[in-house]
Structure 1
Amino acid sequence: MSTITALGVGSGLDLSGLLDQLRDAERGKLAPLETQKAQQQAKISAYGQLQSALTKFQDSVTKLNDASLFQSLSTNVRGDAFTATAGKTAQPGSFNVEVGQLARAGTLATQRVAAADTALTGGTETTLALTFAGLDENDQPRQVEVTLAANSTLEEIRDAINADKAAGVTASIVNDGSGYRLALNSTETGAEASIAGTNFETLVAGNLAADPGTVITQAGQDAELKVNGIDITSATNQVEGAIQGVTLNLEKTTEPDQPITLRVEQDTLKVREAVGGFVKAFNEFKGTIGKLTAFNAETGQAGDLNGDGAVRSIESRLRGALSGGAGESELRMLSEVGISLQRDGTLKLDDAKLGELVTGNMAGLGEFFAGADSKGGLAGSLNTTLGQLLDGNGIVKRSISGAESRVKSIGERYERMEVSIERTIDRYRVQFGQLDSMIAQMKQTSAYLTQQFDMLAELGSPRKK
């Protein structure tokens, strides 16, 4: 009997096609698992969107939970002679500021030499002494010494000064048309930091230009200003302490007897932005929930978290925290600070009402959101609730972990079922092979019998004469 190498060869039946149909039918059992897995993966993504919206809302709540927000001050300068910033210790007030003189750094240009790349100093290491206008601890002119290598050129002297971070000056070379000068510029502004002299002429004695000229100095100076008529000097143009908690950055002088008004006042803009950001973030959170839980009656399409218990729990807890108000504070409910809850669950901000509070009762507004003393405000209560919802053991993380576990479980079931299906198909393949062989054998037997019957028929028939 011949060996069958492919299904259907012996029988003439399309057994391979039938086996493929059986495989497709068996694999159809995997479809529900694939659907379940896709649903759980979609839920994980949806929970991620929910978590992101909650985190953004928590960020806005955290800003309102900072009492310093409602105590922050801003500065208003009516002019361009200076700018000002207010720190934590600043106090509200109005100040008249006159800038009579800006601080500047001192400069010094040495006498001329003929060339910048010719050795000027002697054959041994030497020291360049830089003298400043200020006094040291012994009430002597302050000096800084810079070590120079033997046979230093003007360029090498410049480089040695610039390499010494403690020199107190920066150095450059100036060609004034008649020779080369070493130009020194104090690194700090103010009279005391001003470079006043050097021993350059002594170090390069005999190597000056034919027309050496004279040392040229421009003394540094302190800034001079008046605040409400009080004379103030500063070594820098950044003046701190002249007004408590305020830093003035001087940029140019003012006209004589024409002071510029500086106002230090409550920073209402930051508070407005924080409250507006709170309302916006909550409404975006509600919008995210609406999209994730929506249901389209016409198409029958439902959001990935439609009917989800975790979403209902989150909404319920936040609604309770918002409606609970701020306890014993002067302002107790959101409606009293210009925020109302709409029918669709979103918040609406009354800018006019909020404006009245930030200008007329900032303390009450701060107490409502951030609390007074040890008592927590609405933002503190919300922050606690949001922290519980978002932490590692919170409902959001648990929901994500649950969906991930279900995806893993479905994947394991899918793999087991695939193995089972392949075993079933293998069994069908063996049975089809046996069927194919049996039919082939039957065909051979049938052909043999037919042949024998034909021969018998010929033998039994009358002979022709």
Structure 2
Amino acid sequence: MPIISSPGIGSGVDIAGIVNKLSDLERQPLVQLKKQVGTLESRLSVYGQVKSQMASLQDAAAKLSSNDAWSQFKVTSSNSAAVTATAGSSAMPVKLDLEVLKLAKGQVSSFATVAMDQTLSDGTLEIQQGSWASGVFSSNGGGPTVISIKGGQKTVSTFAAKINSSGGSVQAYVVQDVSGERLVLRSRNTGKDQGFNVSFKPSDAAPDPGFEPAAAALRFMSPFGEQFAQDAQFKVDGIELTSASNTITQALPGMSFSLQQVSSTPVKISVENDQESMKKNIQALIDSFNALNSTLGNAVKYNTDKKSSAPLQGDSTAVGVQSALRSLFRSEMPGFTFQRLSDVGISIQRDGSLGVDSKKFESALANPSAVKALFTASTGFESMGFAKKVETFIKHALDTDGRVAARADALQSAIKRNLQDQERVNDRADRAQARLIKVYNSMDSKVGSLNALNSYVSQQLASMTK
């Protein structure tokens, strides 16, 4: 904006005041433009909130339309110390008796006791995996794990560390008492085929007399009297089954059992539909809809108390979305057990929100498959479940070319144009102000010159008179 320097000195006229007032007249359109942009920004802000709440409603609908939302189960065990159970989405409601006869175990065997920190002579230890189920060791046909006893690694403790680092099917540790120490081996996994047998091959070099006992002195104790590897044995409603693990995942589809201990009596396992989970997911849909309904309702109505219009009053897109959603939740699904939301206790209230008749809702959940169909059926839009209808409707509305997204983009474009108009008004006013300053400064200069001439002439005339 141009600056007027010492305006009106020559003429005595308030040039700055005149120019500023004329400039203000040039900027008068800004008042209306700023009012308009305020309204546009208010509308865009509401649309931002509407889009966010529609996305939340879409998420709630998408979750409710998936099979997982209806495949949550509540599992109980009459003796969780003996058996615990979980149910996945492919499980079925069931009640059964499970009796644990044996737990799956790995083999545990030890070696003969040797003196503490005794140094052993060179040799080779071979650990072969297999089974002792018949009372005689039977190899599984795989190659043995081979451990060499060499200089610097010939104590029982270093020997155990070497076995553990070999990555074989056996792990080792050392136990000690007053008589010395012993090497103990145990299977890494459970099951009757996880047994093992150990053999020694002494080195060709003879041990030093009285110093190093031969490696074979670590005599292997077969598992008799200690612990055989064995499969778990259990009964499901009297049907005897076995498993190499205490975690049973294949006995019943979708079910997982964890055997903890042998049970003296059958453990009662109950698998029921988790109604609380269903309620929570349906309530999430209701809450999301009600939040959106409240926002739209407040945004399009006239405030009679304040006698003012809401930001989106008369906005056809907002009114259309509100009307479409309410109509959608009032629609019917002919041919289903439950054809309307009101059949399960969910209905549109006078203010457009969704209300729940708790008693009717609880009664409907006793037939979970029918309630599921009401929300998840997908046999064409007219017979589409309510959750799928909502998800589909909002997806189209929020897509790039959808009605809500397009309206928000239009508001954003209008704001951009308004700001450009404001810049043009300011530019025009600045140019007008510069032009006026130039004109008035020229006038001021000429008037100043005339005043100076007038003073000179007056002085000369006064001098002549004297």
Question: What's the TM-score, normalizing by structure 1?
Answer: 0.80
Paired AA for residue 373 in structure 2: E
Q: Tell whether 2:129 aligns with 1:132.
A: yes
> Quick one: which of 270, 274, 281 aligns to 1:263?
270
Aligned to 1:463: none
CA distance in 2, matches of 1:170, 1:19: 97
Deviates more, 1:264-273 or 1:446-455: 264-273
SS in 1 for 2:295: helix
Q: Tell whether 2:436 aligns with 1:428.
A: yes
Alignment of 1:25-104 (within 5 A): 25-66=25-66, 69-70=69-70, 73-80=73-80, 81-104=82-105
Deviates more, 1:287-296 or 1:414-423: 287-296
Q: CA deviation at 1:356?
A: 1.6
Q: Tell whether 2:271 aligns with 1:233.
A: no
Distance verdict in 2 for CA 1:104–1:146, change over 3 Å: same
CA distance in 2, matches of 1:100, 1:15: 109
CA distance in 1, matches of 2:39, 2:358: 43
Aligned to 1:304: 311
Distance verdict in 2 for CA 1:209–1:296, change over 3 Å: farther
Deviates more, 1:423-432 or 1:65-74: 65-74
Count of aligned positions: 443
Aligned to 1:401: 409
CA distance in 2, matches of 1:450, 1:95: 127
Q: Tell whether 2:346 aligns with 1:367.
A: no
Deviates more, 1:240-249 or 1:420-429: 240-249
CA distance in 1, matches of 2:464, 2:236: 140
Paired AA for residue 56 in structure 1: S
Aligned to 1:461: none
Q: CA deviation at 1:415?
A: 2.1
Identity %: 27
Deviations 1:399-428 (A, max 9, x none): 111111112211222222222121112112
Asked if the contact 2:128/2:139 (under 8 Å) is kept, the reply is no
Deviates more, 1:81-90 or 1:147-156: 147-156
SS in 1 for 2:277: helix
CA distance in 2, matches of 1:197, 1:20: 106
Q: CA deviation at 1:226?
A: 2.3
Distance verdict in 2 for CA 1:251–1:439, change over 3 Å: farther
> Quick one: which of 330, 347, 350 aligns to 2:357?
350
CA distance in 2, matches of 1:405, 1:378: 35
Q: Tell whether 2:253 aligns with 1:247.
A: no
CA distance in 1, matches of 2:25, 2:148: 94
Distance verdict in 2 for CA 1:318–1:197, change over 3 Å: same
Distance verdict in 2 for CA 1:223–1:310, change over 3 Å: same
Paired AA for residue 103 in structure 2: L
> Quick one: which of 436, 441, 444 aligns to 2:452?
444
Distance verdict in 2 for CA 1:452–1:369, change over 3 Å: same
> Quick one: which of 407, 424, 428 aligns to 1:416?
424
Distance verdict in 2 for CA 1:410–1:147, change over 3 Å: farther
Deviations 1:135-155 (A, max 9, x none): 9xxx62444435769756367
Distance verdict in 2 for CA 1:450–1:64, change over 3 Å: same
Asked if the contact 1:129/1:143 (under 8 Å) is kept, the reply is no
SS in 1 for 2:193: coil
Q: CA deviation at 1:343?
A: 0.8
Aligned to 2:282: 275
Deviations 1:112-155 (A, max 9, x none): 58659x9x786xxx9753322349xxx62444435769756367
Q: CA deviation at 1:242?
A: 2.4
Q: CA deviation at 1:207?
A: 5.1
Asked if the contact 1:72/1:267 (under 8 Å) is kept, the reply is yes
Paired AA for residue 421 in structure 2: R
Deviates more, 1:231-240 or 1:199-208: 199-208
SS in 2 for 1:409: helix
SS in 2 for 1:188: coil
Deviates more, 1:81-90 or 1:178-187: 178-187
Deviates more, 1:259-268 or 1:291-300: 291-300
Asked if the contact 2:121/2:214 (under 8 Å) is kept, the reply is no
Distance verdict in 2 for CA 1:5–1:322, change over 3 Å: closer
Aligned to 1:191: 192
- In structure 1, the gaps of 5 or more residues are 459-465
Question: What's the TM-score, normalizing by structure 2?
Answer: 0.80
SS in 2 for 1:243: coil
Asked if the contact 1:191/1:221 (under 8 Å) is kept, the reply is yes
SS in 2 for 1:61: helix
Deviates more, 1:194-203 or 1:69-78: 194-203
CA distance in 2, matches of 1:9, 1:209: 122
Q: CA deviation at 1:209?
A: 10
Deviates more, 1:331-340 or 1:72-81: 72-81
Aligned to 2:135: none
Distance verdict in 2 for CA 1:373–1:446, change over 3 Å: closer
Asked if the contact 1:64/1:274 (under 8 Å) is kept, the reply is yes
Asked if the contact 1:99/1:252 (under 8 Å) is kept, the reply is yes
Asked if the contact 1:93/1:263 (under 8 Å) is kept, the reply is yes
CA distance in 2, matches of 1:152, 1:9: 109
SS in 1 for 2:104: coil
CA distance in 2, matches of 1:114, 1:377: 75
Q: CA deviation at 1:88?
A: 4.6
SS in 1 for 2:294: helix
Asked if the contact 2:124/2:203 (under 8 Å) is kept, the reply is no
CA distance in 1, matches of 2:252, 2:24: 85
CA distance in 1, matches of 2:149, 2:307: 89
CA distance in 2, matches of 1:5, 1:72: 81
> Quick one: which of 377, 388, 395 aligns to 1:387?
395
RMSD: 3.8
SS in 2 for 1:192: helix
CA distance in 2, matches of 1:49, 1:237: 52
SS in 2 for 1:247: strand
